[in-house]
Amino acid sequence: MDSCRCKFKCSAIETYEHSTKLYTFQCTYDSSIEEDRRFAKASPSGELKIYIDNPSAQKFFEVGKTYYFDASVCPA
C-alpha cells in the first residue's frame, strides 16, 4: 500500500495565545452514506488533533465540515 485516505469531521477549534489554533477532528459515520460505512469497517473510531498557526490554513477548516486526510510514506 502506497497511501491511505482518512475521513474526519472537524468537531472543535480552540484558540491559544499568539493566534495558534487547535483543530480537533473525529472519524465520521453516517449509516446512509456508503463511503462512511466502508471507512467505519477499516477504522471505526479515531481522533486527530492539529495545531495550526498559518492564517490561510486556519481559514480552510470549519467546525461541522468533513475532510479527507491523505497519508503517504515520506522517503528517507
Confidence (pLDDT) at 64 = 96
> φ, ψ for residue 2 (rounded to 5)?
-95, -25
Reading the block at residue 18, the C-alpha cell is 499568539
Please list the ranges in the chain whose pLDDT falls under 50: none
Decide: 7 and 34 in contact? Cβ < 8 Å.
no
Confidence (pLDDT) at 12 = 98
Confidence (pLDDT) at 28 = 82
pTM score:
0.81
Confidence (pLDDT) at 9 = 93
Residue 64 CB neighbours (<10 A): 7
Please give the single-letter amino acid code of residue 8. Answer: F
Confidence (pLDDT) at 48 = 95
Alpha-carbon gap, residue 43 to 27, rounded angstroms: 8
